[in-house]
Amino acid sequence: MDRNARFEAIADCDEAVLTGLAERVLASSAAVTVVREPTPGMLMLRARESAGRSVFNLGEVTVTEAEVEIDGHRGYAMTTGLR
């Protein structure tokens, strides 16, 4: 499975499944370092209008970002809403 396919699978995954996977990693013997705690932020939501297909800024969306390192591999995540 290539990188894009992994990202698509994660994006389509149920939140409860992802939470369960995260809990299993945290309970394992893996060396987990929280690089950046979950932090709220804002992201500009862009849209494309249907007639002329031009892109415009629809508005800002609240997001939560976090970054961890597991056994020397750094990972980053962002999700909509406050978590």
Q: Give mean pLDDT, residues 47-56.
A: 93
Give the pLDDT confidence of 10-26 residue by residue, as tens digits: 889 998 998 898 899 88
Sign of CA dihedral 31, 36, 41, 46: negative
Give the Cα separation of 75 and 68 in Å (integer).
5
pTM of the model: 0.73
* Tokens 């932090």 found at: 39
